[in-house]
Amino acid sequence: MTGPFAAASAVHRRDETTWAGEIAPGWDIGGNADGGYTLAIAARAAAEASGRPDPVTVTGHYLAPGRPGPVQIEARVLRRGRRFSTVAATLASAGVPVVAVLGSFAELGGYAGPERVDAAPPDLPPPEDCYLIEATETFPPPFMGRVELRLHPDELPFTGPTGPPRVSGWFRFPGGEPIDPLGLLVAVDAFPPTVFRAGLPVAWTPTLELTAHVRARPEPGWLRCAFTTRFITGGFLEEDGEVWDASGRLVAQSRQLALIPRG
């Protein structure tokens, strides 16, 4: 583990079921830690508990804003199987639960069997022709300095879509820090909300739940990411994500359920 993300998501085992970590400064968006980041901290402890390195499917339910400072993760192995271990974890800050997690962990790779892909990576202009979101002290938030996003210039927030609200672009960690499967949990929740492109009077959309599936460890290099929303109904919206690595392979899928706050 090297680099700012690895350091900011590090955990230290205290006993059989307890880990200590930290919500590092600057990983928040308006005072609430990025949901993919807090999920990654909790998943790192859960992976250690499981004895298996890779989150295959991880779900987080967001219970309270994550403020910078020390956190404690409780992780309990529910089943240790031949290929997968399933773990329930809760990340808490000063005794207040921030995110509850249920995940299954394994060692990815080494599979040789039938494959079929009916999709393609998003078509993006080269990174240098995409829109770099630069961090500020307010908006865009400091978090945008913790990751490097380059948005498709035709899909910038607050411009109307012709199809379903969609945001796509390139993702990497600054300084060439490698992206492992835990880093993918950040990638799936780092982009501006699709709803900002829906032409609706919606200023923010807190995440209720986020599920990420990791299919493979990414090859080094930029990730191509795309997020789409098809259903804004009943006070909810889903955001479906795909993350493809530099070799053109899908490495992660995500879906989150977010809330449209009542006016």
Residues that bind its own copies (CB under 8 A): 56-57, 59, 61, 63-64, 78-79, 81, 84, 86, 88, 90, 97, 100-104, 108-109, 111, 113-119, 163-165, 198, 200-202, 208-209, 211, 213, 215-216, 229-236, 238, 249-250, 253, 255, 257, 260, 262-263
In whole angstroms, give the CA distance from residue 228 to residue 238: 8
DSSP secondary structure code for residue 187 in this structure: H
115/128 with CB nearer its own copies: 115
8 versus 195: smaller Cβ distance to its own copies: 195
Amino acid identity at 9: S
The nearest distance, CB 3 to its own copies, in angstroms, is 25
Q: How far apart are CA 171 and CA 61, in angstroms?
A: 24
Q: How many CA atoms lie within 13 A of 259 on its CB side?
A: 9
Q: In whole angstroms, how close is the CB of 12 to its own copies at the nearest point?
A: 23
Question: Taking the complex as a whole, how short is the minimal distance between the CB of residue 102 and its own copies, in angstroms?
Answer: 4
CB-based contact 243:188 (threshold 8 Å): yes
The rounded distance, in Å, linking the Cα atoms of 190 and 167 is 11
Closest to its own copies by CB, 31 vs 81, is 81
Running DSSP on this structure, what letter comes out for residue 219? P
**Of 114 and 126, which has the nearer Cβ to its own copies?**
114
**DSSP strand pairing (69-80 vs 18-23):** antiparallel
Least distance between its own copies and beta carbon 157 (Å) = 16
Cβ proximity to its own copies: between 101 and 223 the closer is 101
**Beta carbons within 10 angstroms of residue 26's beta carbon:** 17
**CB 67 to its own copies: min, Å:** 16
Cis check: omega of the bond before 140, within 30 degrees of 0: yes
Supply the minimum distance, in Å, between the C-beta of residue 73 and its own copies. Answer: 14
Strand partners, 217: none
- Give the residue with the Cβ less far from its own copies, 13 or 213: 213
CB of 233 to its own copies, least distance (A): 5
Q: Pick between residue 199 and residue 220 the one whose CB is nearest to its own copies.
A: 199
Residue-level length of the chain: 263
Q: Say which amino acid occupies 231.
A: F
Q: What 3-state DSSP class applies to 236?
A: strand
